[in-house]
Amino acid sequence: MPRRLHSTSNRNPTARAASPASTSTQKWLTRVAPAAVLTLAAGILLWQARDYGLLGWDSYPIIITSRVQSLGDFAGNFTEKLMDGRYSSDFYRPLLNLSFAGDYALWQLEPFGYQLTNVLLFAACAAALYTLARRLAGPRAYVAPWVTMLFFLLHSTNHEIVPVPPRRPEILCGLFMALSLWAQSSPRALALRRPPILPAIFGLLAIASKETGLVLPALSFAAVLLYSPRTGLPQRFRHAFIALVPHVVAVAVMIAARVAVIGGLGGHGNASVVRAFADYPNASVALLRWLIFPQTTMLETRAGLGLLIGVGATLALVALCRLIWRQRVAATAAQRTVLRAGLLGAWWLAIIMLLYSATGLIHQWYLLLPTAGLAIFVGAVADGLVAGLRIKAAPLRTASALALLLLTALLGWQARYSPYVQRYDEWQRASDAGREFLTELRAQLEHAPAGSVVQAPPLPLQVPPRTGSATVYGTSIVRDYSVQAWAELVFPHRRIRVIHPSLDTDNTAAPDETLVLLTRIRKRY
């Protein structure tokens, strides 16, 4: 009897036909569609920012101290503290300086260029979080990376950061933290017998952007511990400690550079380890309140609180059902991977909370980094609930569907306050106020001879937030040291001194200088 010939097509006649379609769908879901969403989001933000000014008190001081007009200026971005003494606190952020130096080289003082850089970096940060969530949750988890990206993009507190060039450190630090964890958790890096270097390089860049990057070694340690291919807890710990070595070196390099430049650790003087743990409960509640209800108006209705309670109750019900039917609904390898992603996102959020608790400072414009950690956690939860819909146990499937419905409603309610839906005009009003002030002051200075005194128009510190509606809380415009840096940039060949008469005793202009008197009046716009 002749032997039958077996072929791939005979064993599975539909395999060859289904493979191209499946690959095309996967490519659309994981590459084309996310890129399209990010492009659309960036386009909307850039359209809104097309007429924004150089917002933020620190814009002009950072520009004048980071611009490169000689080799010494370039080296100064690594050997000088942030704003070179123009600000009371001491910080060391060389990567921020370099980004501003690049903007100034391309755009001079044209605000649009700085806004463009911020928007592109924000889109890159969202893309890095999407890619990280996809790697953490596994190649078969499609919901987790999408929810992570959308939660991050739509969170309204990011609109406190993106239109303000000096708040760029938040975006840069988040971008490099996500890239570092992405590189750290790659199967190839985890399979190495030696510590990978690329995650530490990204970590170095994160710390060079903002001091918050110092939490990255703790995150990397947790990532290796959760995703290590080694068997046994002792072997996993050993692997995590070995992988930590390059991060420790990167932190040591940045601390040494910081101490050499600043003369100490610098930062906010009230930060302490004791405060970090003593204030942690209160700081955590405050931070979670801003992350879940970023707008005060969201707390003025029962809908948000009801949705939050409903999500919590149904998630507890899902956990209870899984406990009762644990023999019938044992977690698959893919579900365990999603669980690890959720744990890492929760740890990201917790470690940022600890750092903010140590400083005692939580502002709306500090929330991009904890928002990223929460986005990963929420993405993992959503993916787990979708997986619960496929389980045969009816009570668990019902609880998962209800929890997913309420979670979607809560996220949709938050999206309603995003800048893509809600029209925030505070930044435009702040830009108009700053432009009006600087235009009038420039006209006065152009006609003021040396030795004269110029009375500046009222100083627009910020646009106050509105009450009873969605608003932006941190619309800073210009301050005394902002005006001083602006005057030196616009009138480089003149000696101009900006003072507050109530704070400075010497109110007399020298023969070779022009004195600008500021008035501490908060004009409302």
Strand duo 453-455 + 495-499: pairing:
unpaired
The pLDDT, as a whole number, for residue 1 is 41
d(CA 50, CA 60): 19
Give tens-digit pLDDT for 229-261: 998 999 999 999 999 999 999 999 999 999 999
**If pLDDT is split at 50, 70 and 90, which confidence band does 9 have?**
very low
Yes or no: say if 382 and 407 are a contact pair by the CB < 8 Å rule: yes
Q: What is the pTM of this model?
A: 0.92
**What is the separation of C-alpha 497 from the centre of its chain, rounded to a whole number of angstroms?**
36
Tell me the average pLDDT across 404-432. Answer: 91
Give tens-digit pLDDT for 469-506: 889 999 999 999 999 999 999 999 999 999 987 777 77
Burial per residue of 422-461, b for 16 or more beta-carbon CB atoms within 10 angstroms, e otherwise: eebebbbbbbbbbbebbeebeebbeebeeeeebebbebbb
Burial of residue 322, with CB atoms counted within 10 A of its CB: 0-12 exposed, 13-18 middle, 19 or more buried: buried
The pLDDT, as a whole number, for residue 4 is 39
d(CA 33, CA 23): 14
d(CA 389, CA 382): 11
**If pLDDT is split at 50, 70 and 90, which confidence band does 22 have?**
low
The residue among 74, 355, 99, 89 whose CA lies nearest residue 213 is 355
d(CA 439, CA 460): 13
d(CA 153, CA 89): 31
d(CA 1, CA 15): 29
Give the chain's radius of gyration (CA, Å): 26
The pLDDT, as a whole number, for residue 273 is 74
Count of residues in the chain: 525
